[in-house]
Amino acid sequence: MPDEDIDYSDIPELDEAWFAKAELRMPVTKEQVTLRLDVDILRFFKAQGKGYQTRINSVLRAYVDAMKKGEA
């Protein structure tokens, strides 16, 4: 679809007030590592399709956040 055919009418304009409140957030860098996982664990995540490494990271992030809050 060409850009000129996209309907932007339901998107509010970003005015000066919006930009005054905006914060610059840099993405968190990731480090490449070698990790040994049980075969069934890896198969489970890979079976969910593309992005399985990101999903594994999200599960680990949730665990770390819970541990920091004393929830686990």
What global pTM score does this model have? 0.60
Q: Measured between alpha carbons, how far is 22 from 38 in angstroms, rounded to an integer?
A: 43
Q: What is the pLDDT of residue 35?
A: 94
How many helices (H) and strands (E) are present in the chain, helices listed first?
3, 0
Confidence of residue 27 (pLDDT cuts 50, 70, 90): confident
Written as one string, the DSSP assignment of 36-53 is: ---HHHHHHHHHT-TTHH
Decide if 57 contacts 30 (C-beta within 8 A).
yes
Q: Measured between alpha carbons, how far is 27 from 25 in angstroms, rounded to an integer?
A: 6
What is the tens place of the pLDDT at every residue in 34-65? 999 999 999 999 999 999 999 999 999 999 99
Decide if 46 contacts 52 (C-beta within 8 A).
yes
Q: What is the pLDDT of residue 71?
A: 67
Average confidence score pLDDT of the chain: 92
